[in-house]
Structure 1
Amino acid sequence: MKKAAARHHSETVFTRAELSGARKLNAVLDLLPRYHTGRRWNAKAAQAAICTLQRLSPDRLFRRSRTIGRTIVVNGRRIGLRLILPDGVRRGLYIHFHGGAWVMGNARLDDGITQPIARECRMLVAGVDFHNAIDDRLDVAVGDCKAAAEWLVDHLATLEVERVILGGESSGAHLAAEALLHLRASGKAKPVVGFISMCGAFNLGGSESLRQSTGRSLLIDAPSALRNLERLTPSLSGREAQGPLFADLSGLPPALLIAGALDPIVDDSLSMFRRWQSQSNNADYVVFPEAPHGFNRLPTKLAARANGLVKMRMSQVLDGSTAAGGN
C-alpha cells in the first residue's frame, strides 16, 4: 500500500491496483504528443472539432431528456447555461465551470462528470458556457462567470433550490473561485455551502511547480501553459491579474481541492489549500499519486476514486448544511 498526504495529519490510502493501473496508462501517455495551451490555432481546431461532433450527436439521440439548454442575458451579454435536472427533490445547485485552459471547451463536454453528480447527489447542475478567451480576453470570461453565478443565486427560488456549491476543473476552478469571491463581495454568498476544485489553476503568475516543469509533463506542455498565462493576464487588472490565490480567503465555505502529483500546477492546489485553511479553517487537500493534469477524465481507478470523492463530499456538505439549518 502507498500513501499520500491529505488534510492536516490525516492520510489517504491508495491501493496497489489503483497505482499500477495509473502507471500503465502514464506509460502510454508518455508516448503521445503534448497539448500546447499557449497556441491559439490548436485551440481553434480543437473547439471546431468539439462543436462539430456535438452537432452530429445531439442530446435527443442519447435520450438526455433531463438536460436543458438556456441562455441568460446579463448586462447585455448572452451566457449559455446547461442545466442537468436530477430525479426527485433537488438537494441543491452545483454551478460548474469547465476546463480547457480558458480558451476551449464547453459545458456539454463535461457531461461525463456533471451527469453523475446530478444523478447520484440529486443536485441541479448548471454548467456555464462562458466566453472562451481565444482572443486573450480573459477579463470577459471572468465577467461571464461572475454574472452567471450571481444570476443563478438570484433565481434560487425559481430553480427550487436553497443551497449552492461552486466548482470546476483546471481553469474552471479558477473561474469558480473568482465567481465565489464576487458573490461574497456582492453580499450574495450566503447560500454557498461548498467549493470543489479538481487540478485547479489559482496562481496566474505561474506556480513554482509549473515554472520548473518541462515539455515532458504528461498531456500538456508546461512551458506552453506558462506562455498561455502570459497571454491572458494582461486583460485583467489588480489582484485578479495575480489569481484567486492572492485574494482574501476568509469567511469562505468549506473547500475540497484535489490535485495530481504529476500535474505541473500541483503547487496551485497546495498553496490554495494552505491559504484557505489558514484564513477560513475549512479546507481539505488530497493529492493523487501517479496522476497528471486532468487525470479524473482518464479510464483509471484513480480517476473513479477522485470523482467519487467529489460526489461524497458534495453529499456530506449538503447533509451538514441541512442539519445546521434545521431544514
Structure 2
Amino acid sequence: MTPRTASGLRPAPFTSREIGAARRLNALLRFLPSYHTDRRWNAKIVQTSIRVAQLLAPDRLLRRRHVVTRIVTADGRRIGLRLILPNGAPRGLYVHFHGGAWVMGNARFDDGITCPIARDCRMVAAGVDFHNAADDRLDLALLDSKASIEWLADHLAEFAVERMILGGESSGAHLAAESLLHLRARGKAEAVAGFVSMCGAFDLGGSQSLRRSTGRSLVIDGPSALRNLQRLTPSLSGREAKGPLFADLSGLPPALLVAGALDPILDDSISMCERWQSQSGNADCVVFPEAPQGFNRLPTRLAAGANRFVRAWISQRLDRPGADSG
C-alpha cells in the first residue's frame, strides 16, 4: 500500500516490478562491504577522490552556466555556497545540506539532488559547503550551518525570492534541522515554508533501530555509525549533543521526512515526525520499502519515485500563499 501524507500528496503506487528490482539490487549490495563511518582514514580517501574527480571535470568544462559558486562571510566564518539557478524567475530558495556522515562530501557532490529541484521546482538551490568533521569537530559544522542559513535568510531579496525551504540528506538533515531551530531562535524563521529530510539523522545518542543494527546492514555499517556519533558528540554541549529530536519543535513549518525501511536510522525519521506532528501538527513521514540508507541515489525506479515525490512536495509548499504552517 502506498502511504498518503497529511498534505494530500502521496508517492506513486509501488509496483511489484519496482519492488522486485530494488530487492535484486539489495541482493547485490549484500556482497559489498558496508561503509564504516567512524574510520577517518577512509573518509579522507573518499573526500580526496571526490575533490580530484571534480578538479578534473570543472563546471566550465561541463558547460554548467547555471552554476555559481560563492564565498560568504557570516559571524566571522567563511562558508562556500554552490548556487544552482533555475530557468526563469525563481519561486523560492532551497537550502541543501549534503550528507556524508558529517565527515565527507560537498555541495557539488549533491548536484544530482539540487539540480532537479532548481529545474522542476523553479528555485535557486543553494548547497552549503560546511566544515567536514573528519577532525571530530561537529561543533564547527554546526557553526557553519547556522551562519550560512542566517546569511541566506537575511539576503533573500538578493535572490529575488521571499520564501525558502530547508533540506538535507542523512547527516545533512540533522544540520538542516539545527539550522531551522537557529532561525526560529533568532526570530527569522517566518520565511521558511517547509523542511525536507531524506534518511535523516536526528538522535545523536543513537536511535533504537541504530542500536539494534548489525554489520549486515546495507550501504553503511550500523555499529560503526553509532561509534561515529560517539566520536562527534563530545564537541557539542547541552541539548545539541542529544540532537534535534530532543528540541522544542513547536511553531515550526511543515515537514516531510522520507525514510528507507532497511535504513539503520529509520527510527530517527519516525520519531522526529511523531514529535514534530505532536508539537507543530504539520509533519509527514513516508517510509519506502526495500530502501537502505541513501536509497534515493540508487539506480532504481523506487529511488526516482522518491525524488519526484520530494520535488512535488516542495512545489506544493511554494504554491501555498505565504509561509503558513498548515
TM-score by length of 2: 0.96
User: Structure 1 residue 252 and structure 2 residue 252: aligned?
Assistant: yes
Partner of 1:108: 108
Amino acid in the other structure paired with 1:68: V
Partner of 2:43: 43
Task: Tell me the SS of whatever aligns to 1:251.
Answer: coil
1:21–1:300 Cα contact (<8 Å) kept: yes
Partner of 1:184: 184
C-alpha distance in 2 between matches for 1:134 and 1:28: 29
Are the structure 2 counterparts of residues 90 and 267 from structure 1 closer, same or farther at C-alpha, using a change threshold of 3 Å?
A: same
1:263–1:293 Cα contact (<8 Å) kept: yes
Deviation (angstroms), 1:206: 0.1
Partner of 1:146: 146
Are the structure 2 counterparts of residues 263 and 6 from structure 1 closer, same or farther at C-alpha, using a change threshold of 3 Å?
A: farther
Task: Tell me the SS of whatever aligns to 2:176.
Answer: helix
What is the number of residues matched between the two proteins?
A: 324
C-alpha distance in 2 between matches for 1:222 and 1:5: 29
Deviation (angstroms), 1:133: 0.3
1:6–1:287 Cα contact (<8 Å) kept: no
Deviation (angstroms), 1:3: 4.6
C-alpha distance in 1 between matches for 2:154 and 2:111: 25
User: Structure 1 residue 76 and structure 2 residue 76: aligned?
Assistant: yes
C-alpha distance in 2 between matches for 1:106 and 1:321: 33
| TM alignment of 1:1-327, pairs within 5 A | 2-3=1-2, 13-322=13-322
Task: Tell me the SS of whatever aligns to 1:126.
Answer: strand
TM-score by length of 1: 0.96
Question: For 1:252-271, what per-residue CA distance to the aligned partner results, in whole angstroms no more than 9, with x for missing partners?
Answer: 00000000000000000000
1:67–1:83 Cα contact (<8 Å) kept: yes
C-alpha distance in 1 between matches for 2:134 and 2:143: 15
Question: For 1:193-233, what per-residue CA distance to the aligned partner results, in whole angstroms no more than 9, with x for missing partners?
Answer: 10000000000000000000000000100000000000000
C-alpha distance in 2 between matches for 1:109 and 1:9: 32
| Unpaired runs of at least 5, structure 2 | none
1:4–1:289 Cα contact (<8 Å) kept: no
C-alpha distance in 1 between matches for 2:225 and 2:202: 13
Deviation (angstroms), 1:275: 0.2
C-alpha distance in 1 between matches for 2:108 and 2:117: 14
Task: Tell me the SS of whatever aligns to 1:14.
Answer: coil
Question: For 1:18-65, what per-residue CA distance to the aligned partner results, in whole angstroms no more than 9, with x for missing partners?
Answer: 201100110110100110000000000000000000000001122110
Are the structure 2 counterparts of residues 323 and 230 from structure 1 closer, same or farther at C-alpha, using a change threshold of 3 Å?
A: closer
**Alignment root-mean-square deviation, CA:** 1.8
